Structure 1
Amino acid sequence: MRKVLYIFAISMFITALGCSKGNEGTKPAGDKPVNPPPVITPTSFTAADATAAYTAFNRYFYDASKKLYYGSTRRDGVAAIWTQAIYWDMAMNVYERTKDPAQLTMINDIYQGNYNQYDGYNWDNTTTWFIYDDMMWWVMALARAKQLTGNDVYLQKAKSGFERVWNGSYDAVDGGMFWDFKHSGKNACINYPTVIAAVRLYKLTGDATYLTKAKSVYAWAKANLMDASGRIADHKIGNNPAGYEDYTYNQGTAIGAAVTLFKETNDQSYLNDAKLVADYTRNKMGTNGLLPAEGDFNEQGVLKTIFAQYIMQLINDGGQPQYMDWIQTNVNTGWKNRDTERNLTFRNYAIHCPTGDIQSYEASSIVTFMQLVPPKQ
């Protein structure tokens, strides 16, 4: 027993010497320091998180009986007609990511819910549809749904919607698209989506007139709504100077229109435009690398949801991975600052999501980003 105690005492003495600051650097030259294993902390959302975010979004905002989305967690009114199309795009993103057959059913359900709500997509109903850009968001989504599902019903609705908007909105004298029935101005929110919809319809039908229209509208928009820095104006009214207001959805659809035309024509100038617009968004908008917190309890909360779609198109289809780290940082920050009780995210990525009533608009962008953006490895 005394021998054991003696050995124990000697070992404690040696240990004490080894831990003493006075013994640092006294190891023989041949010894290698033993470093503890690194502590690994999560730095990125995961695929499971992407699913959890979408599940939470539907739990708080989706009406499974009406197959429509609410405007807020109060669930006391449906979201705006054009944002329903944006949420339908979100559902398509989830299906592309997961290939879950149940999500394909969700895509068809959302179409049917909006069919029931909005007069069967009757484009001539000027009560349901009161501005052209609301229609064009749906035309874009319908064309994409045809691409994704092969359902010809979606294509027919997209074609008839595009024809209705083109005949009522396009300025055959001076070019460009009017955003409203009164032709009060030509806004980015109708011109760039028209380009995207037209190219999608060209790819679906082979009708070259769609591509001609896309090029024409893009040329007008570039000349009238885009400056040399890549900043996109919100509108152009008559002969007045363009009205420049920084909105991520305008930046996003400008990127999407340019990348879409680049893919069809292989004209490098379109890709150069897309990069210029993306650079302006990254370098001039937002704070500390985070996208701006648009939408103070209004529909603008959905704008970054649209931007997500098209910046990822630039990264993937345009072959521009230099934007990925910036986007991943935004997504990870927004997800980290979620309301952990509800798994809901917020329009302002830099702060914690409020725990009270929030809108589906302001809760949607991080969810969409997470379906499109790969987690950091």
Structure 2
Amino acid sequence: MQKLAFLLPLLVSVHVGCSQQKDDPKPSPTNPVTPVKVAFTDKDATQAYNTFNTYFYSPNDKLYYATTEKKDIGAIWTQAVYWDLAQDAYKRTKDPAYLQLVNDIYTGGLKKYDQYNWNNKTVWFIYDDMMWWIVSLARAHQLTGNATYLSTAQAGFQHVIDGSFDPGDGGMFWDFQHSGKNSCITFPTVIAAMTLYNITKDPAYLDKAKTIFNYGRNNLFNNSTGRVADNNINGSIDWTNYTYNYGTFIGAATMLYQQSQDQGYLTDAKKAADYTWHNVSDTAGILPAEGDWNEQGVLKAIFAHYLMNLVNDGGQTQYLPWIRNNINTAWGNRDPSRGLTYRNYNVVCPSGNIQSYEASSAVEFMQVCPPAQ
């Protein structure tokens, strides 16, 4: 992430956390207005993505601005999420302009982040920042066949394993100081390992994925309820709910299920999805408005990608009405003049300066979830 001073509040709130309670209070609907009733279409999904790019993409930097003011480029790890968004938009539309954008974003990152030099501890200062990019690089190889994307992902994966993996218990440290083991590095690492395994068929990747997932399941997951913790600091578990942790747990479990057909992985993924639906969302099923002017606004974009993996690769179509309800609520509450969506799906998007982080998640949902027919 770009600047340590800018990120310090987020690092404390997202990656370290302070909540030790077993159950957070259930959110309530916060909508002060009646949303416009909509049923989003494929055309709306394209419009939403194009609008997001109009207000946030920098053609010169080939990366995304932090806000609609277009002053500063957004945080390093969120650029990987936006790269996933571009890839998902291309997969949905097969529009060659989006494929060009996929390749351009790689070039932007190459220039901005020291040629993806994983040893640069100024560019990279926590392991999960690297892992978001490693996952996206591997996916970009699957999409384009570009061998450089794959070799860069493999080098990054090995670098993170060498520095973060704890061979004693199979866990992953999230920071260079090894202060704790967090979901934000654990489950993305499983996803990266499984993606690389699917590409290369190297069993070492599969072995790492299983080992790290087992640690996460035993130390960052409540098997009875499906709740996913934020972190485990020397045995002290922080159960604060963040949607990206639910998403990456679901994605990791689904990928392991798809490879093994072990129903246990699918059961775990469904438990986490059900917990998110019935306990993290409000009473109307709307996901929480994470990200009060910080990078947490992007978390639901990550959740969107992996929940749809469960739907598509795990055959769990029962989640589609819930997902579409969230999309339709957010899209109905878009900024009426600009067409931008907001982190809080239950309120109309503000007309002033907003962040790319908080504008991104509904757009990602629309790229991966098909409209109701």
Give the deviation of 1:206 after TM superposition.
1.3
Distance 2:127 2:105 in 1: 21
Retained in 2: the 8 A contact 1:234–1:245? yes
Q: Is 1:331 the equivalent of 2:306?
A: no
Give the deviation of 1:42 after TM superposition.
7.1
Distance 1:286 1:315 in 2: 18
Query: Following superposition of structure 1 onto structure 2, how do residues 139-178 of structure 1 map, counting pairs within 5 Å?
Result: 139-178=134-173
Q: Is 1:202 the equivalent of 2:197?
A: yes
Structure 1 segments, 4+ long, off by >4 Å, are none
Give the deviation of 1:286 after TM superposition.
2.1
Distance 2:38 2:177 in 1: 50
Query: Following superposition of structure 1 onto structure 2, how do residues 1-377 of structure 1 map, counting pairs within 5 Å?
Result: 43-227=38-222, 228-238=224-234, 240-287=235-282, 288-377=284-373
Aligned residue for 1:126, secondary structure, equals coil
Give the deviation of 1:86 after TM superposition.
0.2
Retained in 2: the 8 A contact 1:43–1:376? no
Identity, % of aligned pairs? 58
Distance 1:289 1:203 in 2: 34
Give the deviation of 1:242 after TM superposition.
1.1
Distance 2:252 2:169 in 1: 20
The structure with the larger Rg is: 1
The count of aligned residue pairs is 336
Distance 2:64 2:121 in 1: 22
Distance 1:100 1:165 in 2: 34
Distance 1:192 1:304 in 2: 16
Cα RMSD of the aligned pairs, angstroms, is: 0.9
Q: Residue type matched to 1:278 in 2? A: A
Distance 1:47 1:254 in 2: 28
Distance 1:42 1:250 in 2: 30
Provide structure 1 residue ranges, at least 5 long, that are not aligned to the other structure.
Answer: 1-40
Q: Residue type matched to 1:355 in 2? A: S
Retained in 2: the 8 A contact 1:286–1:293? no
Distance 1:57 1:103 in 2: 13
Retained in 1: the 8 A contact 2:66–2:357? yes
Retained in 1: the 8 A contact 2:38–2:332? no
Q: TM-score, normalised by structure 2?
A: 0.89
Structure of greater relative contact order (alpha carbons < 8 Å, 6+ residues apart): 2
Give the deviation of 1:102 after TM superposition.
1.3
Give the deviation of 1:194 after TM superposition.
0.4
Distance 1:339 1:126 in 2: 39
Q: What are the superposed Cα offsets for residues 182-224 of structure 1, whole Å, 9 maximum, x if unpaired?
A: 0000000000000000011011111100000000000000000
Provide structure 2 residue ranges, at least 5 long, that are not aligned to the other structure.
Answer: 1-35
Give the deviation of 1:101 after TM superposition.
1.1
Aligned residue for 1:236, secondary structure, equals strand
Give the deviation of 1:103 after TM superposition.
1.0
Retained in 2: the 8 A contact 1:47–1:375? yes
Distance 1:159 1:286 in 2: 36
